[in-house]
Structures are given as structure tokens and as C-alpha cells.
Structure 1
Amino acid sequence: MSETKSTVEIERISNIFKLLGDKTRLTMIKILDNHDACVCEFVEIFKTSQPAVSQHVRKLKDAGLVRETRRGQWIIYSLNKDSEYFSLVQDLLQHLPNQDFRLKELEEQGLRISCE
């Protein structure tokens, strides 16, 4: 690998780590590791505005870590397991605590979206 290519790759991986250095985005990725979700669910989970959540999701999508699928009126986000960085992210996710309780809380409050 040439020095230039190596430098570019280090830069790209550094940007992925910067992206995941944000607590909200890191939590989103951990949630998406086990469950698909929509922006409105993230709004409820993080108690923040829809535009703020959409910005986080857009950054993850632009980096190729997250993909979107349209289901009727909903846009559902999932972890992009075809990403060139998936193995890197997967290693990181193994060290994070499970976040399933967040979606369970939404279900209990009647706020979990059913996109079927």
C-alpha cells in the first residue's frame, strides 16, 4: 500500500471514529445493530428535535454506516452491513451495552412505530 493510500485510509477511518465519538450517534448505531428504527422513534428515545435527529442520521448515512428503506410513509433506518467499515463498527459494538431497553420503553409508552 502506498504512503498516500495509507494516509487516505487513516483519514477515512479517523472520520468514522469522529462520527461515532458522538454519544447520540454511537447509541443510534448500537440500537440499529439489533433493530431497524425511524427518525420519530429516535426523537422519542433521545428527547430531541426531529431536525437534530435527522442531522445525526444523515451523517451516519453519508458515511455509509446506515441505509434507509421506505415502507409506505415511513423511512426506516438500518445498519449497513455492506459498508466497508462494517467489520470495524461491529468490533466496536461488541464493547457497548445493549440498548434494547430504549425500544422496550417506547413500546410500553405506546410510542414504538409499527411500519407494517
Structure 2
Amino acid sequence: MEHIREMSDKLKLLSDYTRLTILSLLKEREFCVCELVEILEVSQPAVSQHLRKLKSQGLVKESKRGQWVYYSLNADDKPYIKAVLDHTPDSQTILSALNKQHLTSACK
């Protein structure tokens, strides 16, 4: 039963539009918080809070480079998460839909 509870907790995170979008973007490459803020047009504290929740459930991992923190997908051992993400659009489709094809991030 504990495995089902763990799956349920992780899948609940995916029910939020912003978190599911973040995970969909992370399928292809890592992103810095500042890039996600620009893409999603959400405040930096809000993006950080979403990432904190995803990280606490082990769905994303972070790596710090200088003053910037980059996030990447961490779902290799969670096939049910990968199955959901297989049905989400790729990052180019998401960026196009949000009119964000030509991002110029300050964190580079």
C-alpha cells in the first residue's frame, strides 16, 4: 500500500498546470529558474515554490552553477510519471503556444 500512496502523492503534483508544464519542459533539457519565470510569466517565488514541491517528491533535481540553480527531470525510476509526460507536448510546442520561441535569459 505504501507504493500506491507514494504514486498518489507524486501524481497529485502533476494535477497542477504549472508543475506539469515545468516537467514537460524538463523532458528535453534543464532550465534555470529565471528561464522558467520568463516562460511561464509567473513570479520567481511561485516558480521556486513549484520546484521545491517537485524536488521534495524526487521528480526534479538541481545543480548549482555560480549564482544560478538549474533543474532537470528526475523520473528515470518512475515509469508512471514518464508515461504521463509521454503524452505532453515537447518544449518547442509549449514555447510556441506561449509565444516564447526566442527567449533571451539573463541567467546565461
**Length-normalised TM-score, structure 2:** 0.85
Percent identity over paired residues:
44
- Larger helix proportion of the pair: 1
Structure 2: gaps of 5 or more residues: none
Alpha-carbon separation, structure 1, partners of 2:42 and 2:62: 21
Aligned to 2:60: 66
The number of residues matched between the two structures is 106
Output the aligned Cα RMSD. 2.1
**How high is the TM-score relative to the length of structure 1?**
0.80
Describe the SS at the equivalent of 1:42: helix
Q: Distance in 2 between matches of 1:112 and 1:99?
A: 19
User: Which structure ranks higher in relative contact order (CA pairs < 8 Å, sequence separation ≥ 6)?
Assistant: 2
Q: Which runs of 4+ in 1 moved over 4 A?
A: none
SS in 2 for 1:108: coil
Bigger radius of gyration: 1
Does 2:68 match 1:100?
no
1:15-94 correspondence to structure 2 within 5 Å? 15-82=9-76, 84-85=77-78, 87-94=79-86
Change over 3 Å in CA distance of 1:81–1:112 after alignment to 2:
farther
The 8 Å contact of residues 69 and 76 in structure 1, kept in 2 or not, is answered as yes
Matched residue of 2:4: which SS? helix
